[in-house]
Structure 1
Amino acid sequence: YNNLYYGSASANNKDKNGSSRSNSSTTYYQWENFVNYSTDLWDKHHVSAMLGMSYSENNFTYVSAGVDKTAKHDPLYADVSYPAGDAVKSTAGYNLINRKLSYFGRLAYDYQNRYMLQAAMRADAADTSVLPGTNRWGYFPSVSAGWVISNERFFTEKNNTPLTFLKLRASWGQNGSTSNLSGYKYSNSLVTSAAGYSFSNTAMKYVTSAKPSQLYNPDLKWETSEQLDLGMDLRAFNDRFSFGMDWYQKKTKDLIVSNIVIPYEAGNSSAPMNAGNVTNKGFEFEAGWKDKAGDFNYSVTANLATLKNEVTYLDPHVSGGRIEGATTMASNGSFSAFEVGYPVWYFRGYQVDHLDDKGNPVFRDNTGDGTIDASDKAMIGKPMPDFTYGITLTANYKNFDFLIFGNGSVGNDVFMSYSYNSISYTLKEMYDQRWTADGTTSRKFARPQNTNADKYGLSDAYIFDGSYFRIKQIQLGYTLPRTVTKKFLVDKLRVYASLDNFFLFTKYPGLDPEVSSTATSGMGVDYGNYPTTKKVVFGLSVTF
């Protein structure tokens, strides 16, 4: 409800103001059905199967009404039911419905817990507001296999190693996505231009027109990700030590892209199209150790994952073979790009060769034509890390328990956007290490307000190493003895205190290297958002 009475800044009439009301409601429901079957054959073969379906619907309704003047200058009349005689009335409303339908099944086979094989299939249907009816269905198979070597007779009878469990596994599968599509983006619905009167020497004409909102793309289909994984799991030393390793390769194909270049004579824009492929591959490792000494128990778990990311295909009709990404806060140009042969949304900008004797940046002339323009831009960094890692330590002694957890990344860069040409956000490091005429400070950064500030703000001068390690949580807890809590009809009572996000180790000079953006093209870009909050937490957990 929006009451515009008594001279609201948004009211059209300051003497007798208007009023408006609006209402929106969302109804969501999901219906799922499953049937499972499991049986043992000849005491050695185990077979199981599952069939299922899922249907969901999201229904959004909006309605509004308003008047720009009310009948009396009285709060009792400040509503849409009391319009003035010459009031302009307005109404609006719409209904949005989106549905999803899926069928899926799985068949699994196990022989004496030694050989495992599983196959699955999904059939997903998108709403026709998302994909054209001819391509609304997507079919996504998957298969996996495993071999538990430690259950083989030759292993159990002749095992002279500390190994207690060893398993090899492999999997391949596909899944689909239409997450960035909605509202008939593939269609060419008509839109009308502004109507009006055209005057000439002989006549007056009322003119209006309509045109397709965009070019129609009846071939738009599901974006598909296909992943291959090879892995191994083992345990040793009476299961005190555990280790897991995976090699993965994920290929995303038929990437849905909107930046399509079309002929000018088309007179409108293009619908999205399936126009790109991306490959991610790397290794994942996880290791753990747990042991105890009397009443003292402890465990250590660590993980590490590598990543190599590359755009492998982009339709030549897509912005000339390169998609320009997000812009700086000063809107002086884009600084990220999506291009074949490079990581996704790598940082693209000017390279500072040196500073001249007046403190102005001199940029690298990559084209050799004697001028510095957008064609001289090059890769100056990447938001994707080379690897990420984490470590968790737990311990407990009698009724006390302790936890410490941390994670980090290595090899990722951060583009500092908020510091460019901003008096209120200028980075202290840039100020302290700026060029000065007396030469008393270093010459790491150009002088303030240099003659090439627009290009300098899109250069590698604003790229910093974003590697970090953060201790996410340190927690200490105490559980009261059961002999005490049972007197109060309490099964378990635990008190604890923790420090969250208190310790950060990084060379990044900004507020927080773990920057985020709502836009994918803004990965690794620091817009000066609020940093990760440090917290001191005291808690109580009670179980009856």
Structure 2
Amino acid sequence: MSNYYDNIIDMSNRGVEVSLGGYPVRGKDFAWNTDLNISVNRNRIESLNNAQINSYMQDAFIVGKPAGTVKGYIVDHIVQNMDEVNELNAKAVEKGFAEYQSGIGVGDFLMKDTDGNGTITSDDRQVIATPEPKFFGGWTNMFTYKNLSLSFLMQFSCGGEAVYSNLGEEISGVLGQSVGRELYGNTWTPERTDAKYARLVAGTMSYNYMANDRFVFDTSYLRMKNITLSYSLPKAWINKLYLSNASLFVTATNLFTITQWPGLDPETVATGITSMGTNNDPYPLSRSFSLGVKLQF
């Protein structure tokens, strides 16, 4: 037996959920009913208990941090000329290293030497993204005026972070790889030296494609999850049709989303513990519209 699974890691979850609701307006013809739900959860790895975690999973389990964290490099800046690289390489050689950062050239990301040893290695990676939101929830409203009713659900999440993994794939320069709207026109060139991202070069061997803080984005969003407009037929009509109730309705789901996330959908960030802080644009939630008739006999 080469593998076994055990609940060996100590993890804590502490949170609170608050729900408020009522009728701010309740009149003869018009009424407004609203319900707000807000949840807060704080996850924390308390102890690994000497657990032997696979190397590709270790970054997601850090004592004192929430599960699912992402480690990566901190970008200091983009190299504008080789003089600074030559100077850093010279200092690295004095400390017994071959170079400061392998494969680096003009237009590449210069990573921060966070451990101060004079060269860039995997030990310089820091926690750059924590997927746990500060709070999340939903807001439901229903407005009624005589036989008309309008109801909607707003869904929200605030404060989570994730690495937009598509950027690493796109900037790696693999031939045939498409370039998305976030990267397009925002990479370094001799004419665009103030770009956010490093140069786009086919088959680059630099650190440009590795997870770093410039690939991290806020996953906060506010979404119109569902909205329904309905009309209840007058009682006189219902009685003539020998019905107890009848209504017409039109519904839209996932109508719009307000977010700064550069990808297709912040809600589809991966949910597995080791990948919940990354996203590479899986198939997004669909927007749908429907018409219907509801009859009760």
Please confirm whether the aligned pair reaches a TM-score higher than 0.5, indicating the same fold.
yes
- Distance in 2, matches of 1:425 and 1:385, equals 31
**Of 156, 160, 163, the match for 1:415:** 163
Question: Structure 1 or 2: larger helix share?
Answer: 2
Alignment of 1:12-411 (within 5 A): 214=1, 269-290=2-23, 291-319=25-53, 324-325=56-57, 336-357=59-80, 358-411=106-159
Q: Which residue of 1 aligns with 2:84?
A: none
Query: Per-residue deviation at 1:388?
Result: 0.9
Alignment of 1:477-496 (within 5 A): 477-496=230-249
Aligned with 1:429: secondary structure?
coil
- Distance in 2, matches of 1:529 and 1:299, equals 36
**Residue correspondences, number:** 265
Query: Per-residue deviation at 1:516?
Result: 3.8
TM-score, normalised relative to structure 2: 0.82
- Distance in 2, matches of 1:501 and 1:408, equals 12
Change in CA separation of 1:456 and 1:351 when aligned onto 2, cut-off 3 Å: farther
2:153 is the counterpart of 1:430 = no
Aligned with 2:60: secondary structure?
strand
- Distance in 1, matches of 2:205 and 2:71, equals 17
Change in CA separation of 1:378 and 1:542 when aligned onto 2, cut-off 3 Å: same
Q: Which has the higher contact order (CA 8 A, sep 6+)?
A: 2
- Distance in 2, matches of 1:343 and 1:456, equals 25
> Structure 2: 5+ residue runs without aligned partners?
81-105, 171-175
Query: Per-residue deviation at 1:348?
Result: 1.0
Name the Cα RMSD after superposition: 2.1
Report if aligned partners of 1:414, 1:513 keep a CA contact under 8 Å in 2. no
- Distance in 1, matches of 2:78 and 2:179, equals 20
2:274 is the counterpart of 1:540 = no
Aligned with 1:380: secondary structure?
strand
Query: Per-residue deviation at 1:404?
Result: 1.6
Q: Which residue of 2 aligns with 1:446?
A: 198
Report if aligned partners of 1:419, 1:425 keep a CA contact under 8 Å in 2. no
Q: Which residue of 1 aligns with 2:85?
A: none
- Distance in 2, matches of 1:411 and 1:452, equals 34
Opposite residue 276 of structure 1, the aligned amino acid is I
497-506 or 452-461, which deviates more: 452-461
Q: Which residue of 1 aligns with 2:224?
A: 471
Aligned with 2:183: secondary structure?
helix
Report if aligned partners of 2:67, 2:273 keep a CA contact under 8 Å in 1. no
Identity %: 30
2:268 is the counterpart of 1:515 = yes
- Distance in 1, matches of 2:194 and 2:208, equals 21
- Distance in 1, matches of 2:114 and 2:230, equals 59
Larger radius of gyration: 1
Change in CA separation of 1:453 and 1:538 when aligned onto 2, cut-off 3 Å: farther
Report if aligned partners of 1:284, 1:304 keep a CA contact under 8 Å in 2. yes
TM-score, normalised relative to structure 1: 0.46
- Distance in 2, matches of 1:399 and 1:278, equals 52
Query: Per-residue deviation at 1:452?
Result: 5.1
Query: Per-residue deviation at 1:323?
Result: 5.9
Which consecutive segments of 4 or more residues in structure 1 shift more than 6 A? none
- Distance in 1, matches of 2:29 and 2:184, equals 56
